[in-house]
Structure formats: structure tokens, C-alpha cells
Amino acid sequence: MGSLKIENVKKAFGPVEVLKGIDLEVTDGEFVVFVGPSGCGKSTLLRVIAGLEDSTSGRVLIDGTDVSVTPPAKRGIAMVFQTYALYPHLTVKNNMALGLKQAGTPAAEIERRIKIASAMLSLEPYIERRPAELSGGQRQRVAIGRAVVREPKLFLFDEPLSNLDAALRVNTRLEIAQLHRRLKATMIYVTHDQVEAMTLADKIVVLNAGRIEQIGSPMELYNSPANEFVAGFIGSPKMNFVDGARLGETAKTIGVRPEHVTVDANSGAWKGTVVHAEHLGADTNLYLDCEKAGLITVRIFGVYNAETGATLYATPDAAKTYRFGPDGKVLK
């Protein structure tokens, strides 16, 4: 239970096509993350899966059954929203109970599930409070609790952490990871934070302008991106792209990640001047303006002292350089 299949789903708002044919398969118990730039259709795809939006064409199957005409409440899904979306007039407990009451679950069973969920998410101290009396982090945990008590086949998260501050985000991320391990449920998670994507996902789906660019495990995407878009999107700082012609290469574009470039004061492939240096403690990001390659980023592990304006030589690791064709695809 808990598998999802999407077949050639398209969605248009009037003349604007937002999803341009999405095919995707999610197996039971998988944690799948949708990433992509803002406006690429991640939320729309999630809403189509939830049944909050009708697809223009294509099919959505949950556990092998076509749910195109099934209302959201009957699809066996639960959703956590970016803005929490708690019912303002209900207590934490009733917020969690409402969906179950609507489905006609016996009171004792509701009580039992709320107990388990609130213990799991440490919600007990404020179970009788209203959402207005909770902090942002607590509210989001209640929203997650409301999803958990439904015991859905499919959890849908739409950027659940983006309204939280950095420290809380890390904590809640851990909690979601633990939740997934404990419940072994299928989860679909939308984010544009790639740290969240890399740390949580079994499988990442990279979306761009309504199309899937690549599907794969975090390491697959990092090590063998299918195209320039994925290469640039996964990894931080972003991969350096250099015009092939400037380097005398046959490929249209050459890509190398900042962590796969080494610098030396005396000799190397690309001579450049330091434009800016960012010292993060654990590592240092240097921005070099190179004669041959243009502006590139270099990530050095540990502390590296470089003056702005100093001359340095950068050398890309040849084994970890990517070559892209004119269509943006990786050349083998």
C-alpha cells in the first residue's frame, strides 16, 4: 500500500501550460522530493496528486486505482502546507480530530491515534491550546500531527519548513526523517531548498518549467547529472560553466563543481585574480576572475587566506569535469 503512479499528467490554466506531461512512479515507502525553481509547477503537481486541482489530461493512480474522480478526502492522502493551515477556531486536539470525525472514525480510535501522534511529535503540553497560542515550529508540528493521525497511504508536504527559522528547520527536518523511518509511509515532499532535498530524499525529482529533467537518488544526481540544468541546480555553490570554445574544447559547455577545482599560487590551468572570498570556517569560497574561463567559484575545504586582487591559478579535476552538448545534455 502507498504506491503512486502518474501517467502523462498535463495541467493548463487557461492558455498557460504549467505541467507539460509528467510521468512518475513512486513505490511503497519511498521518500520522494520534488525540487525545481520557483514557478516550475511543483505545488501544482502536488495539488493534482491530492485532488485539489484537476489535471487537464493524464492519469493519477494510487495503489493501482485511478483516482481522477475521487475527492481529496477519499484518496487516502494527508497534506502539510507551507502556511500550516490549522483551523484557527479549534484546539490542537480538535484540529487533529476533525478529519477523522468527518470520516466517521470511532471516538476511542481517534483518541488513541491522537495520543500516539502527539507523543511522537511532543505535542502533549499544548494539546488544548488554539493555533494562535503556538509558535511557528509548534504549529507546523501540529500540522504534521494532523497528517499523521489520518494514517494515510501518501503524505504530501508542500514546503513545510520554509516559514521556519534556520535552527528550527534543521530540527523539524530531522523529525520528518525520523517520522518516515518509523511510519515507513510513502512521502512526497516539495522544496526548493536543496539541503532538504539531499538529506531527506530516497529519490529526487528535478522539475523545470513543467517538465521532469531527471529522477534519481541524491548521489546519482550529484555525480551524474543528465543535463546542464540538473548539474547547475544540484550542488551548492553552483557548478561552474565555461564556454567550451574559450577553452578550445569541442563540447558546447564545460562544467566543473567548485569543490573539484584546486588553486595554487604559482602554477595551474587557469590564471585569475581573486574577486571576493567568503570564509565560512569549515570551508572557503573564492571567486576568481580567470583570463580563460571567466568568473568561477572555487570551494576550498578549511581555511584559506587569499587577498582580494591576488593572482591565483585554478586547476579543474579532469576526472570530475562534465561536458555538455549544444542541447544541454551531457556528452558521454
Partner 1 sequence: MSTATRSLPRAIGAHAILLTYTAIALFPVILVVMNSFKSRVGIFGAPLTPPTPKTFDLIGYTTVIGQGDFIHYFQNSLVVTVASLFFVLLFGAMAAFALSEYRFRGNTMMGLYLALGIMIPIRLGTVAILQLMVATGLVNTLTALILVYTAQGLPLAIFILSEFMKQVSSDLKNAGRIDGLSEYTIFFRLVLPLVRPSMATVAVFTMIPIWNDLWFPLILAPSEETKTVTLGAQLFLGQFVTNWNAILAALSLAILPVLILYVIFSRQLIRGITSGAVK
- Which residues, in sequence order, are bridge partners of residue 156? 79, 188
Binding of residue 330 to partner 1 (CB under 8 A): no
Among Mg ion, ligand ATP, partner 1, none, the one that 281 touches (CB under a kind-dependent 5 to 8 A) is none
- Cα 8 to its chain centre, rounded Å, is 22
Backbone CA torsion sign across 283, 289, 292, 293:
positive
The residues near 249 (Cβ < 8 Å, ≥ 6 apart) are 323
| Binding segment toward partner 1, per CB under 8 A, in 15-23, 74-82, 109-117, 267-275 | 74-82
Residue 12, interface with partner 1 (CB under 8 A)?
no
Q: How many residues bind partner 1 (CB under 8 A)?
A: 24
Distances in whole angstroms, Cα of residue 167 to Cα of each of 100, 122, 288: 32, 18, 32
CB nearer ligand ATP, residue 5 or residue 192: 192
DSSP conformational letter for 192: S
Q: Characterize 172-187 residue by residue with b for buried, 16 or more Cβ atoms within 10 angstroms of its Cβ, and e for exposed.
A: bbebbeebbeebebbb
Which among ligand ATP, Mg ion, partner 1, none contacts residue 308 (Cβ within 5 to 8 A by kind)? none
> Which of ligand ATP, partner 1, Mg ion, none is residue 89 near (CB under 5 to 8 Å by kind)?
partner 1
Pairing of strands 31-35, 203-208: parallel
44 binds Mg ion (CB under 5 A): no
Residue 52 sits in the site that holds partner 1 (CB under 8 A): yes
Distance CA(78)–CA(319), nearest Å, equals 45
Nearest-angstrom CA–CA distance, 171 and 150: 23
- Identified binder of partner 1 from the candidate list 12, 61, 85, 269, rule CB under 8 A: 85
For residue 322, give the 3-state DSSP assignment: strand
Q: How far is the CB of 281 from partner 1 (least distance, A)?
A: 36
Given Mg ion, partner 1, ligand ATP, none, residue 38, with its beta carbon under 5 to 8 Å by kind, binds: ligand ATP
Indicate whether 13 belongs to the interface with ligand ATP (CB under 6 A). Answer: yes
In the bound complex, what is the minimum distance in angstroms from residue 57's beta carbon to ligand ATP? 16
DSSP string, 92-103: HHHHHHHHHHHT
CB of 68 to partner 1, least distance (A): 16
Q: Other CB atoms closer than 10 Å to residue 249's CB: what's the count?
A: 14
Contact code string over 98-137 relative to partner 1, x by CB under 8 A? xx--xx----------------------------------
45 near partner 1, rule: CB under 8 A = no
Question: DSSP state, 3?
Answer: -
Q: Which is nearer to ligand ATP, 54 or 278 (by Cβ)?
A: 54
Cα–Cα nearest to 243, from 324, 166, 176, 124: 324
Rounded distance between C-alpha atoms, residue 183 and residue 131, angstroms: 25
Site string for ligand ATP, 155-194 (x = CB under 6 A): -------------------------------------x--
* Cβ-based nearer residue to partner 1, 27 or 83: 83
**Binder to ligand ATP among 4, 9, 33, 43 (CB under 6 A)?**
43
Chain position whose Cβ is nearest to ligand ATP:
43
Stretch of 22-30, 80-88, 177-185, 287-295 lying at the interface with partner 1 (CB under 8 A): 80-88
Q: How far is CA 51 from CA 55, 59, 253, in A?
A: 9, 11, 41
The residues of the shown chain that bind Mg ion, judged by CB under 5 A, are 43
The residues of the shown chain that bind partner 1, judged by CB under 8 A, are 47, 50, 52, 71-74, 77-79, 81-89, 98-99, 102-103, 146
